[in-house]
Homo-oligomer: A and B are copies of this chain.
């Protein structure tokens, strides 16, 4: 059965990095993986071409695909768009919501070869391996009511942070299962000393814990979690939290590694269909220069193989190839280091393919 992969290059460096990931997908095909790869526009590029950041055709193709590979969206060119619904980010948020991709997996993994790139002391981050499980289709990102309106003669902006028990339970299960497969530790992050919605969050996590006696559940307030990530990040194994806190904490955790250009992510729905993308953004300042780091996108392909296509072995081969290339001292500019060879986006792609 041929599986369908949809590639959405997006904006900025998106097209360059997905091009390298596309070469890796082709190499998998050459090794017998039965896939069909198609491309479609999203984000600012789609707005420019078709007047909407998530064109109907793109959405239809995404629904029909077994997995989606996204580059990145956004850029200053579209930041001042009056019609907010047309901004590139809305393409991304629309995909998440429409495909029901509630389970966002964001690993923060330190590659031993890149330990120096971290701004933290080596002993604090060496061996760092955190998996952040972020709820992605609910919370304050999508809560209603929302808007800006006039009340008593002045404008007021408002959003709603809301979760139902079912939403919390669903992401909780993803996190408990993940903890079970990893180090057996799960930290749920909330602000249950202030926010009612996260009191419910905590209660549901507590209830689920009874079903996962092999997983050690702890709770942490979000402010303390931000602090602990800086103080002693290796205390964490799996972290589960809502959409907004997950956005903040996963970026902080990613930056602990010093090489956000290395970090992939997966966003899954209930049927295992997934969207895969690098953790970094569209980096418009270096777009089109063939200097961007394609490894996070290539590693996103590995995640896709593992989580949506059931091809763990191929996933490991890709990860091993990336490791070998780093061992050989190849670095793109973002992770450049003395004694290593700085290479372009395409050269990095060449090297991974050669090591694959």
Which residues of A are in contact with B by a Cβ distance under 8 Å?
74, 84, 87, 89, 93, 119-121, 124, 140-141, 143, 146-148, 151, 154-166, 191, 193-201, 222-224, 226-227, 229-232, 244-245, 247-252, 254-256, 258, 260
Contact yes or no, B157 A160, CB < 8 A: no
Residues of B within 8 A of A232 (CB): 119
* A–B complex contacts, Cβ < 8 Å, 23 sampled: A119-B121, A119-B124, A120-B230, A121-B121, A140-B195, A143-B158, A146-B196, A146-B197, A154-B164, A156-B162, A157-B197, A157-B199, A157-B200, A158-B196, A159-B162, A159-B197, A191-B247, A223-B247, A227-B251, A227-B254, A227-B255, A227-B260, A245-B248
Residues of B within 8 A of A251 (CB): 223-224, 226-227
Closest A-B pairs by Cβ, 6 of them: A157-B200, A157-B197, A226-B252, A158-B162, A223-B251, A230-B255
CB distance from A90 to the nearest CB of B (A): 9
Q: Which of B89, B155, B194, B248 touches A89 (beta carbons < 8 Å)?
A: B194
CB distance from A232 to the nearest CB of B (A): 8
CB distance from A61 to the nearest CB of B (A): 25
Contact yes or no, A157 B198, CB < 8 A: yes
Contact yes or no, B199 A148, CB < 8 A: yes
Residues of B within 8 A of A194 (CB): 89, 93, 141
Contact yes or no, A222 B247, CB < 8 A: yes
Residues of B within 8 A of A74 (CB): 193
Residues of B within 8 A of A148 (CB): 196-197, 199-200
Contact yes or no, A226 B199, CB < 8 A: no
Q: Which of B201, B229, B245, B255 touches A157 (beta carbons < 8 Å)?
A: B201
For A164, the closest partner residue in chain B by CB is: B156
CB distance from A203 to the nearest CB of B (A): 9
Q: Which of B89, B248, B258 touches A222 (beta carbons < 8 Å)?
A: B248
Contact yes or no, A226 B197, CB < 8 A: no
Q: Output the residue of A89, A148, A157, A193 with the most chain B CB within 10 A.
A: A157
Contact yes or no, A161 B164, CB < 8 A: no
Contact yes or no, B161 A140, CB < 8 A: yes
CB distance from A107 to the nearest CB of B (A): 16
Given A84-B199, A119-B231, 11 additional A-B pairs, CB 8 A: A89-B194, A119-B230, A140-B161, A140-B195, A148-B197, A148-B200, A151-B164, A156-B163, A157-B162, A227-B254, A248-B248
Residues of B within 8 A of A147 (CB): 196
Residues of B within 8 A of A229 (CB): 252
CB distance from A81 to the nearest CB of B (A): 11
For A260, the closest partner residue in chain B by CB is: B227
Task: Tell me the complex Cα distance, A249–B245, Å.
Answer: 11
Task: Tell me the complex Cα distance, A201–B256, Å.
Answer: 29
Task: Tell me the complex Cα distance, A335–B128, Å.
Answer: 24
For A118, the closest partner residue in chain B by CB is: B121
Contact yes or no, A191 B244, CB < 8 A: yes
Q: Output the residue of A154, A230, A260 with the most chain B CB within 10 A.
A: A230
Residues of B within 8 A of A230 (CB): 119-120, 230, 252, 255-256
CB distance from A246 to the nearest CB of B (A): 9
Task: Tell me the complex Cα distance, A154–B167, Å.
Answer: 10
Residues of B within 8 A of A196 (CB): 146-148, 157-159
